[in-house]
Amino acid sequence: MAIQRLIKFTLVFTLAVILMGAYTRLSDAGLGCPDWPGCYGHLAVPSASHDLANIETRFPDAQIEPEKAWLEMIHRYIAGTLGLMVLAILILCLKQPQAPKKLPVFIAALILFQAALGMWTVTMKLMPIVVMAHLIGGFSLFALLLLLYLRLKPLRIPGGDTYARKLIPLALASFGVLVIQIILGGWTSSNYAALACTTLPICEGNWVDNLRFADAFSPFQGDHPSFEFGVLDYATRMTIHVSHRIWAVVTAITLILLALKLRFAQSHIMRNSGYLLLFLVIAQVGLGISNVVMNLPLGIAVSHNGGAALLLLTLVFINYALWRKA
């Protein structure tokens, strides 16, 4: 079916947008273009001498960095393309009598809100709560597209799986634990706290006495000309980082427990899902440790974002299979 093929391609494209967004953010290119949706008033990064002269007048405080500006614009181009693909999915679903209607409408509304968050990310100068919301929106879009695909292509488990059905509470808990960890990861990244601790297993120094949870998780951090590179002090960033790291242990244990239990499922679909989940958790833990040990290398940091997205998709599939078809 054409709509199923389109959704599969859109899922891959959504992952590319998530990875490109992470690459742009981690390259400190989020303000490569200080305006929106264009770049210094242009649809592409300006390079002509007369355009640059005009920019100095219109944006007197801006310093043009073409590499960062192009990263930001490429991210906007592919995000815009993704929006068109979601619109096409919506139209096809509305035309097809048996296709879901509410879910594609919600997905279309979500991507419009994502566009608004993208604009606010720039106009509010990388305010952490907006940056994190933009990240969560991208992950939510990814998960809902998979859910729509599953709704259009019914999953069949011959004879059901009574053993796997008993794992519903654990699967739901795993999903909730992972969502919290993704939010903590987004908050860590948007507050530039990824390198607040550079030792393992927790943090250097007398970190327990310096925890500041109220400041660390306050959604509003005052008025600042820009939030680029963060505005919080070390102790507050350290609190964010430690919270993310400790909850990562909780997340890993919960997800590994689910994966190990799925090994005994009667259905090979559920067993394979468990093996995939186990592989992704181990890989994600390794990437997280590598970020600390290797001082946040760009490729590993971006892969860590991608790993979180794939874990989310895997748990969406497992929960869907257990609730709807087991």
Q: Known catalytic residues?
A: 72
Helices 66-95, 102-123: crossing angle, 10 deg rounding: 160
Other CB atoms within a 10 A radius of the CB of residue 142 amount to 21
The whole-angstrom separation of Cα 137 and Cα 147 is 15
DSSP state of 43: S
Angle CA(311)–CA(313)–CA(284) in degrees, nearest 5?
Answer: 15
| Three-state SS at 39 | strand
Do residues 277 and 318 touch, judged by C-beta distance below 8 A? Answer: yes
List C-alpha distances in Å: 326 to 113, 119, 146, 153, 182: 34, 42, 18, 15, 27
